Structure 1
Amino acid sequence: MKKILLLALGACALNAANAQFKGMLEKATQQVAKKDTAKAASGNPLGKIVSAATGGSASGLSNEDIISGLKEALAVGTTNGANKLSAVDGFFKDAALKILMPAEAQKVEKTLRGMGMGKQVDQAILSMNRAAEDATKSAAPIFLNAIKGITIQDGFNILKGNETAATTFLKDRTQAQLTAAFRPVIEEALKKVDATKYWNTLFTNYNRFSAQKVNPDLTAYVTEKALFGIFTKVGEEEARIRKDPMARTSDILKKVFGK
C-alpha cells in the first residue's frame, strides 16, 4: 500500500513538472516569435505596419487604416504612372520604356536605314510610341476598379511582400482586362498616327528586296510593350511611396506608411 502511495505521489510530481516545463517552453516560444517579428519589421519598410496590425506594437493602426492606406497608395501610384506615360513623349522620351522595332525587324531596320529610308523608320518608331501613349489613358479606370476589390487578406499579403508587391497584385488581376482594352485602342491609335502606313511602307519596300518576308503583328507588339511600360512605371511609383516621405501626399498615406 505504501509503495502504491509513493508511486502515485511520484506521478503527480512528474505531471506538475511537465506542466511547468510546458508553460516555460510556450513562454519562451512566444518571446522568440516577438523578437522575430520585431526583427522582420526593422528590415522591411512596411514590416512595422504588419507587426502593429498583428499585435506586435501599439501603433494605433486598425485594419481599416492599413487597407485604406494601401488603396490610397495604389490609386496614387497608378494614376501618376498612367499620367506620365499617357503624356506626349511619355513613352518616346523614356529611354527605358521607349518602344523600338521588334527584335525580328531590327535587321530590316538596319537594312532600310542603309537604303536611305531612315526618316520612314523614325516615323514608324514615333508612331508606335504615340499609340502606346494614347492607349495608356484608358488604364487608370481599370486599375482603380481592381483596387476597390482589395480585401484585408490581400492587403496583408501585399504589405508583407517586396517593394512592388502591389504592382504584381494589380498585374495578376488586370493584365487580361488591360490587354483586351488596350488592343483596340492601340489599333485605332496606330491608324490615327499613320503607324500602319509607315509600317506597311517599310516592309513593303523591304520585302521587294528580300526573300525572307517580315509581317509581325504590329498591334499585338505595341500592346505588349505598352503594358510592360505601364506596370514598370506603376512599380516605380509604388516603391517611391514606400520609401520617400515626400511621396506620401495625403493624411492616410502619412499615417500608414510613416509608422
Structure 2
Amino acid sequence: MKRLIVPFLLLFLLPLSYSCTSGRFAGYKLNENDAAAAIRQMLQLGVQESNFTGAFNKETIMTAVLPEGVRKAMNTVSMLGLTNEIDRFTTTLGTAAEKTATNSIPIFASGISNMQFTDAMHIIKAGGTAGTDYLRASIGDSLRRSIRPVVETALQEYKLNDMWNEIVKPLGGNKIKLDLPTIMAGAVSEAMFRKVAEKERLIRAEKEARTTTLLQKVFSKSWS
C-alpha cells in the first residue's frame, strides 16, 4: 500500500511545485509600456555591469581599431627598428580606451534612459540582440558624439598624439594623420555595444540573469 501512496503523492506535488515557479507569471499579458521599460532595464544592466579590462589589447588595436593605412605605416616603422615605440603606443592606447569606456558608462546609461520606442513589443518578440540593435540604430551616433570629450581627455592625459607624431617621424609624420578622437570614440562605443549584446543574449536565454521582477515577467516566455 505504501508503494502506491508515494508515487501518487509525487504526481500531486510535482505540478504544484512547477506552478509556484515557472507558472508565477502565467496570467501575465505583455504590454507596450512594460516592454519598453524592460528593454531599457536590460540595456542598462549590460552597460553598468560591463568590464573592459583587456578589451583593448595590442591585437585588438591593430586589427579592429586602427585603419589599414595606419597599420601599414606602423609595420613600416617597425621594420625600421621602432618596435618598442609601437608596442608602447598600442599599450597606452588600449589603457586610454579602457579608461574612456569605463568613464562613458554614465553617458550610455543616461542615453538608454531617454530612449524612445516606436514598437517595443516587436523588439521583445524579435529575440536575439534586437534591443542592442535598436540602441545602436536609434542613438548610436549621439552616444559617440557624447563620449568624444571623454576620449579627448584621455588622449591628452596619455599624450597619445605626441607619441604618434614621434613614431611616424621617420616616414614624414606630417603626411600621416591619425584622427585618434574619432577612431577611439568608435572603438569604445562598439565595445560598449558588444557588452550590452552579451547581456541581452544572457537575459533572454537564462532565467538566473533576470534579476528584477520586470525582467522575469517580460522574458518569462516567448511572445512570438
Q: Same fold (TM over 0.5)?
A: yes
TM-score normalised by L of structure 2: 0.74
Q: Is the 8 A contact 1:91 1:97 kept in 2?
A: no
**Residue among 170, 194, 198 paired with 1:236:** 198
State the secondary structure of the residue aligned to 1:84: coil
| Per-residue Cα deviation, 1:153-179 (whole angstroms, up to 9, x for no partner) | 532121132411111221223223222
Correspondence for 2:3: none
Correspondence for 2:182: 220
What runs of 5+ residues in structure 1 fail to find an aligned partner? 1-57
Aligned length: 196
Q: Is the 8 A contact 1:73 1:241 kept in 2?
A: yes
CA distance in structure 1 between the partners assigned to 2:203 and 2:185 by the alignment:
27
CA distance in structure 2 between the partners assigned to 1:100 and 1:150 by the alignment:
28
Correspondence for 2:160: 195
| Per-residue Cα deviation, 1:20-53 (whole angstroms, up to 9, x for no partner) | xxxxxxxxxxxxxxxxxxxxxxxxxxxxxxxxxx
- Deviation, structure 1 residue 108: 1.4
RMSD: 2.9
Q: Is the 8 A contact 1:163 1:239 kept in 2?
A: yes
CA distance in structure 2 between the partners assigned to 1:188 and 1:120 by the alignment:
22
What runs of 5+ residues in structure 2 fail to find an aligned partner? 1-25
- Deviation, structure 1 residue 79: 1.6
| Per-residue Cα deviation, 1:49-88 (whole angstroms, up to 9, x for no partner) | xxxxxxxxx63235254444333212212222xx312xx4
Q: Is the 8 A contact 1:97 1:229 kept in 2?
A: no
The higher relative CO (CA closer than 8 Å, separation ≥ 6) is in: 2
What one-letter code is carried by the residue in structure 1 that aligns with 2:98?
E
Which piece of structure 1 moves more, 228-237 or 66-75? 66-75
1:73 matches 2:42: yes
Correspondence for 2:220: 258
CA distance in structure 1 between the partners assigned to 2:169 and 2:200 by the alignment:
43
- Show the 5 A alignment for 1:36-47: none
Distance 1:218 1:238, change over 3 A: same
- Show the 5 A alignment for 1:1-259: 59-63=27-31, 64-80=33-49, 83-85=50-52, 88-92=53-57, 100-150=65-115, 153-207=118-172, 213-259=175-221
Q: Is the 8 A contact 2:151 2:181 kept in 1?
A: yes
What one-letter code is carried by the residue in structure 2 that aligns with 1:145?
S
Distance 1:176 1:231, change over 3 A: same
TM-score normalised by L of structure 1: 0.65
CA distance in structure 2 between the partners assigned to 1:118 and 1:101 by the alignment:
16
CA distance in structure 2 between the partners assigned to 1:252 and 1:243 by the alignment:
15
Q: What is the identity percentage for the equivalent residue pairs of Structure 1 and Structure 2?
A: 27
Distance 1:111 1:156, change over 3 A: same
What one-letter code is carried by the residue in structure 1 that aligns with 2:40?
K
- Deviation, structure 1 residue 96: 9.4
CA distance in structure 1 between the partners assigned to 2:59 and 2:205 by the alignment:
23
